[in-house]
Structure 1
Amino acid sequence: MVGQGASVDLLIEDLAADLDGRPYEVARVGAGWLLRTRPAYAPAIMAAADADGQSLDLGEFDIAVLAAIAFHQPITRDGLKEIFGKEISRDLIGRLSEQSLVATGPREPRRGAPYTFVTTEAFGMESLRDLPDDEQLKDTGLG
């Protein structure tokens, strides 16, 4: 659409400059680019997107568990316990399941094998490649 020989990096820089001061930014994710909400605007956008009061109503720890499942899937409750240093309640996993964010994943083909958990399409990722890498997490202060 922009012609052969066009510099994608320069186009991205132009787009980033155009978005300066707006609630969105362009961020590099893996080998591609992502248009995302700037953290300062997230509460207002989330409030505006709350169609008929259907917010996810997740606490900070709930979100942390959901992120751990996304990064380490398939993962068992014991695996989550190793990450957080405490037992993850069935109620928490149940709430994430009720909101269609988490589903049961594969189990070993043996009797009594523990359930694993994976994220669903409702989590909003096309692929696990959409997750930020270690360097991106460090850039945001999370790594």
Structure 2
Amino acid sequence: MAEPSARRKQSDQLALLDTELENLPPELRWREWMGRVEAVIFAASEPVTRSVLARVVGASCNIDLLIDDIRDELRGRPYELVAVAGGWQHRTKKAFADVVRTALGGAQQGSQGQKDLSQAEALVLMCIAYFQPITRGELSSFFGKEVSRDLIGTLRSQDFIASGPRSPQPGAPYTYVTTKTFLSQFGFDTLRDLPDFEALEDAGLLSKAKLLAGDIPAGLSGASDGDDEEPMDVSLDDER
């Protein structure tokens, strides 16, 4: 079968790769490891995990220190190495965001299959992020308005959310959780990096009281059935 064959090929390639580089003096060995790690991250379209990077360096290599040295070398460059979604990825520095947007605009956005979220979609996504796993019924109760299946479908089509465990509530409705795509898109390494809810309230960016009172924009409601519908076929692999 093709898949086992591909695994064997990768295993053979790893076996042939000299990761320890014992024939090199320590400084040159470190430089080679840095080059390998940066090359792998640069070539990947998704954040690269520690376990993947460990395949191309020696057992004694401290990957965190290696990443720090790569970051130091990139200080004067318009891009940087950031920790997102449990791995590392090259990203353009925020100072150049307007330049990239002006030059590439919709072409860059379309290439990633992403579109801007409406205010209602962003609010629902925020609530899922903070209170996951959460059902559509719980979201509707939270906002005081029906959260439509269409809105949930939009977030799923962007791979920002996926189905979580069944709720212990009567009828065992599906819950929703955020994905690695959500972490990557918004620049979070883990959910622990989400801004503190109270800090957002103190900054005037969010009001839990207003949310509970249903003081939210139109766009949440729509024709919908019960909460126990089968989830759409959207999945997120443990490692991309």
Q: State TM-score, norm by structure 1.
A: 0.60
CA spacing shift, 1:138–1:55, aligned 2, 3 Å: same
Whole-angstrom CA distance in 2 between matches of 1:54 and 1:83: 30
Counting only pairs closer than 5 Å after superposition, residues 1-143 of structure 1 correspond to structure 2 as: 47=105, 50=109, 52=111, 54-108=113-167, 112-124=171-183, 125-143=188-206
Aligned length: 108
Residue 31 of structure 1 aligns with which residue? none
Check the 8 A contact 2:114/2:158 in 1, yes or no: no
Q: Percent identity?
A: 47
**Where in structure 1 are there 5+ consecutive unaligned residues?**
1-35
In structure 2, do the counterparts of structure 1 residues 110 and 59 end up closer, same or farther at CA, with 3 Å as the change threshold?
closer
Amino acid at match of 2:158: Q
CA distance 1:114–1:123, shift in 2 (3 Å): same
SS at match of 2:166: coil
Deviation at 1:98, TM superposition (A): 1.0
Cα distance 1:53–1:71, how it changes in 2: closer, same or farther (>3 A)?
closer
CA distance in 1, matches of 2:112, 2:190: 28
User: Which whole-Å CA distance do the structure 2 matches of 1:77 and 1:51 have between them?
Assistant: 29
Instruction: Find the structure with the greater CA-based Rg.
Output: 2
What RMSD, in angstroms, separates the aligned Cα atoms of the two structures?
3.4
